[in-house]
Amino acid sequence: MPVINFLTQCVFDAGALKQLGALAKGKGITRPFIVTDAGIKASGILAKVEDALGVPPAGVFAETIPNPTETQTKQALKLYKESGADGIIAVGGGSSMDHAKAIGLLASHSEPLETYAAIIGGAKKIGKIPPLIAIPTTAGTGSEVSVGMVIIMENGRKETFASPNLIPVVALCDPDLTLGLPAHLTAATGMDALTHCIEAVLTPSINPPAEGIGYDGAHRAFGMGMLKRAVKDGSDAEARWHMMMASYEGALAFVKGLGGVHALSHAAGRLHEKKLHHGTLNAVFLPHILRFHNGAADAKYVRLRDVMGLKPSADLADAIQDLNNAIGIPKTLREMGLAVMDGPGIVEYALKDLAHFGNPKPMSADDYARVYETALG
């Protein structure tokens, strides 16, 4: 099976989970601490991971919540330290993987966590963390190969942290673990992956290899129709393989940066009581941001149309909206539980988000407010 060394080692193929024990041993993990969520435990995937390890875990934290928080990270950190673990294995979607990174960061660095936030230059303060193996069970976030993590802080912000030292030492990508994922989660996580690819391409920083990978991910998810196929048939192994690859590629691509879609999604996602799914937010915001930036990156829009299998005259925003409609994404933010009163706070936090600085065309508070109002419906 392919072994890819781009940012880190990736073992990618159906059935790759069986290599976990050898991979952990090779990275010096003899007492692993597993970080996952209740759904993974209930589905039986956690048991499969424990079997594949071949050694009893030092500890398990299976209560990771969607959009992980600083408060829960501190709770899990206590268990990690008490367990005597010498490494971490993250199993799940982006929440579990980001949570595992945060646990590893605090296990090896002094508090407070906000010291290491990217927006204040905290990346230079992030050194090595305990060895981390990431096993994604959705095809969306790409956190298994990402330099970043996103945590809701006790100060109310949804903060991005970024450093090469946060990249897992191994990404173990087994598409079989996504077979049977419910259609609504397949759609939401898949749109997260597609948004990563598109926004990474459009951000103006220069990184041709990463940009090329972003185009390829967009081709798989949209151009080859693999996202639609995966949503339609959860047992479609070929579609699951390509979507996990598109997710992986999205994270490789966004080392270039992201843009207004993620600035808004992070700002809305900090509203913890709303329980908003990050990928669904991305999907709803993406057409509106594409319309805003139309004309600011014409050559990239042309190439995106090409790799996505669209006609040269096609409207990218309309094409994304049509895809959203086809796979069951809510049409408006209002359907997700957001309201007019949430707008000012979301705009305020979007302007402070790291992704805001990756827009191909500058966005003001008024610009974000108009996008939010339109997306609200």
Residue range 16-51, pLDDT digits in tens: 999 999 999 999 999 999 999 999 999 999 999 999
- CATH class in words for 3-177: alpha beta
**pLDDT at residue 273 is higher than 90:** no
pLDDT at 372: 98
Q: Is 35 helix (H, G, I), strand (E, B) or coil?
A: strand
pLDDT at 156: 86
Domain 181-376: CATH architecture, name and number where available: Up-down Bundle (1.20)
**pLDDT at residue 6 is higher than 70:** no
Going by C-alpha positions, the residue among 85, 79, 151, 80 that lies closest to residue 114 is: 151
Domain edges within the chain: 3-177, 181-376
pLDDT at 3: 55
**pLDDT at residue 1 is higher than 60:** no
**179-206: average pLDDT:** 96
pLDDT at 157: 86
Residues 125, 131, 134: CA angle, nearest 5 degrees:
105
Residue range 277-308, pLDDT digits in tens: 999 999 999 999 999 999 999 999 999 999 99
Helix axes 183-202, 316-327, angle to 10 degrees: 170
**pLDDT at residue 60 is higher than 80:** yes
**359-377: average pLDDT:** 98
Query: Contact 194/158 with Cβ under 8 angstroms?
Result: no
294 Rama class: left (phi>0) / alpha (psi -120 to 50) / beta? beta
**pLDDT at residue 199 is higher than 60:** yes
CA distances from 52 to 1, 25, 136, 145, 310 (A): 18, 12, 15, 21, 43
Estimate the share of the chain in helix, then strand, then coil, as percent rounded to the nearest 5.
Answer: 60, 10, 30
Q: pTM for this structure?
A: 0.94
Q: Is 34 helix (H, G, I), strand (E, B) or coil?
A: strand
Residue range 249-271, pLDDT digits in tens: 999 999 999 999 999 999 999 99
Q: How far apart are CA 247 and CA 131, in angstroms?
A: 22
